[in-house]
Amino acid sequence: MGSIEAARKEANGSLTEKKPCVVFVLGGPGSGKGTQCANIVQHFGYTHLSAGDLLRAEIKSGSENGTMIQNMIKEGKIVPSEVTIKLLQKAMLESGNDKFLIDGFPRNEENRAAFEAVTKIEPAFVLFFNCPEEEMERRLLNRNQGREDDNIETIRKRFKVFLESSLPVIEYYNAKGKVREIDAAKSIEDVFEDVKVIFTPKEEQVATA
Ligand code: ADP
Ligand code: C5P
Ligand code: MG
């Protein structure tokens, strides 16, 4: 066996052994996943892994896959699972943590099935930020982070991919009773109030009504 393959198996072995707690954070582009993940990290000690951020870092690092990833992102297309899963596994191992918010992944059925097959990890639940397209469009056009995919042409393509490929993944987990849906059209503060309830253990929730 080649050393790279051996290393991959070993890495995966120690991940599987650890049985980490994984929450998939899903929602359309601009629904506020990254914003809320930053809040969850502060309050609940998770490590935030954004698949999109990992792919953008991979482009910047000058990796051999960089050009392919850049072209896919520009077109709003989903990068082959193998590439994204490797980046996620590496980041999970390097973090040393055992609680992860995996943001923007799985984006399609291929992502979902491949992650499950490779890592044997089932998510604890799926946090779904539900937001109307008009609101997401407004947010993306105002995001101002210099992203090459935050232009109206690519945004429309990303919305189409979300409806056609990502929503079915949310439906898959919904059928398993794993989806916690949040109204993401509210203010950042109000959305986080709803998020907190989901992450706070039941016995610690104080009745405020
Ligand atoms: P995602 O990671 O889901 O694509 P982001 O968290 O990057 O979304 O949010 C997209 C943009 O919208 C950012 O500029 C962010 O500051 C802003 N934003 C996030 N949540 C809200 C909200 N609840 N109300 C208004 N603007 C928001
Ligand atoms: O989640 P984010 O908006 O940062 O994703 C940006 C882009 O990264 C997506 O439109 C897609 O091209 C790519 N991506 C992907 N596979 C994922 C997550 C993101 O190909 N699981
Ligand atoms: Mg994001």
Domain containing 25 equals 13-49+98-195
The structure tokens listed for 14 are 């120690």
Measured in whole angstroms, the distance separating CA 189 from the mean position of its chain's CA atoms is 21
Q: What percent of the chain has pLDDT above 90?
A: 87
| Residues in the chain with pLDDT values less than 70 | 1-13, 207-209
Domain for residue 155, yes or no? yes
31: left (phi over 0), alpha (psi -120 to 50) or beta: alpha
Q: How close is the Cα of 98 to the center of ligand 2, in Å? A: 23
Domain for residue 7, yes or no? no
Which atom of ligand 1 lies at the shortest distance from residue 129's CA? 3
Which atom of ligand 2 lies at the shortest distance from residue 51's CA? 18
Beta bridge pairs of residue 26: 128
Count how many domains the chain has: 1
- 98, 121 contact by CB (below 8 A): no
Minimal CA–CA distance to 116: which of 58, 177, 165, 172? 172
Domain for residue 110, yes or no? yes
Write the CATH number for 189: 3.40.50.300
Using DSSP, state whether 105 is helix, strand or coil: coil
Helix and strand numbers, DSSP H then E, in the chain: 10, 5
| pLDDT score recorded for residue 61 | 97
